[in-house]
Amino acid sequence: MSIPFATLPKVSLHCHLTGSVLPGTVLELARKHGVPAPDGRGAHDLYDIDSHEDLDEFLRVYDLVGRVMRDADDFRRTTYESLTTLGAEHGVLYREIFVSPPSHPGVAYRTILDGVRAGMREAKADTGIDSRIIMAINREDTPAAAFDLVEQVIAHRCDEVVGIGLDYAEIHGPPGLFHEAFARAGRAGLRRTAHSESGPPGNLAILLDVLGCTRVDHGYHVVDDPDMTARCLDAGIVFTCTPVSSDIGRYSGSGNGKHEKIAAMVEAGLRVTIDSDDPPMFGTDPTNDFRILHEALGYDTEQLLAFTRTAVDGCWLDESDKAALRSAVADRMSVGTG
Ligand SMILES: [Zn+2]
């Protein structure tokens, strides 16, 4: 029986707003603001997927995209497109989207927040997809800048912002540097996650012990350390894995499409969810990431749905909203699988 990858219900815990802007939209926003298209490229070659093996080069393009997002309507539009074209149309029922204020220099936090919330409301009205926001710290900035961002989140507190994250290049910003920003967020009741992809493996202990993370974005090297695997099993840490983007970056395996690390994490019984990270930038989407894992690892419908159930359990909705999402997923499962 063929698996209906597109209609299987999905819950998205690892997708970046800036990384999900469609190429045509980037070019239109550049025109709107009278700035040249990034690198003078067109829609067909805006995202040079082969070059994303190099994280610094990937982040350079990512920042160029961030710079064409300037007013509230830009954030409304890009959020809407991420939640519909790259979300609801792929069976995504709920997304916690990473928003990175530092990748939009000169834009007020409030402008970003208002625009993103407007896009979330519109997407929900049109497709039913629900969503929340994780405000992401750029670890290549200073700890003081990270602390300031958390202060802004708290000053403009709203129900949509459920937590903070930490992204950009791990090698340039070890997680321990940001302990004060994370402690401040924890005291304010914000949930915490952080990217750990390129390592070193010891960073996982810092995420858990120092930053108070209950989720880890990527985290493939957990399976290199049996003690850490046991600890994460015990603590129920949720890992938001992104097969295609991490395969290109050679983090989740050897870049050979075999996804050995994800397979080992699933085999160990760790709580794994699947998402697309920066879908158009890596030439993927939520349907494709499910299909890729089926093709590489033979995961059947039941295993793919297990990723979705884990994402429901690991998401940061309150318990009543989580129960509603759980039943929405169950309803969709019976339709999706016939
Ligand atoms: Zn990511």
| Terminal Cα-to-Cα distance of the chain (whole angstroms) | 11
Residues 195-220 pLDDT 10s: 998 778 789 999 999 999 999 999 99
Residue from 234, 231, 292 nearest 263 by CA: 292
Give the list of residues 6+ apart from residue 100 with CB closer than 8 angstroms, or none. 16, 17, 18, 66, 135, 136, 138, 167
Between the CA of 242 and the centroid of ligand 1 the distance, in Å, is 8
Looking up tokens 């997923």, which residue turns up? 329
**pLDDT score of 1:** 63
Q: What is the pLDDT of residues 151-188, one digit of tens each?
A: 999 999 999 999 999 998 888 899 999 999 999 999 99
Q: C-alpha angle 118/150/242, rounded to 5°? A: 70
In this structure, how many other beta carbons lie within 10 angstroms of the beta carbon of residue 175? 22
Which residue stretches of the chain are H helix?
A: 23-32, 55-66, 72-84, 109-127, 143-155, 179-187, 203-209, 226-235, 243-248, 260-268, 286-297, 301-314, 319-336
**Do 249 and 218 form a contact (C-beta atoms < 8 A)?**
no
How far is Cα 333 from Cα 230, in angstroms, rounded to an integer? 31
Neighbours of 36 (CB within 10 A): 11
What is the spatial order of strands in the sheet that 238-241 belongs to? 10-16, 92-99, 130-138, 161-167, 191-196, 215-218, 238-241, 271-274
Q: How far is the CA of 215 from the centre of ligand 1 (A)?
A: 13
Q: CA-to-CA distance for 93 and 52, rounded, in angstroms?
A: 29
The pLDDT value given to residue 42 = 84
Instruction: Quote the ligand 1 centre to 338 CA distance (angstroms).
Output: 33
Query: Closest Cα to residue 277, out of 238, 315, 241, 253?
Result: 241
Looking at per-residue pLDDT, the higher value among 199 and 19 belongs to: 19
pLDDT tens, 323-334? Answer: 999 999 999 987
Domains, the chain, ranges and CATH?
10-336 (3.20.20.140)
Ligand 1 center–CA 249 separation, angstroms: 11
Please answer whether residues 96 and 131 qualify as being in contact, where contact means their C-beta atoms are separated by less than 8 angstroms: yes
Contacts of residue 102, Cβ cutoff 8 Å, sequence gap at least 6: 137, 138, 141, 145, 149
Enumerate the active-site residues.
Answer: 197
Pairwise pLDDT comparison (9 vs 48), residue with the higher score:
9
User: Ligand 1 mean position to 334 CA, how many Å?
Assistant: 31
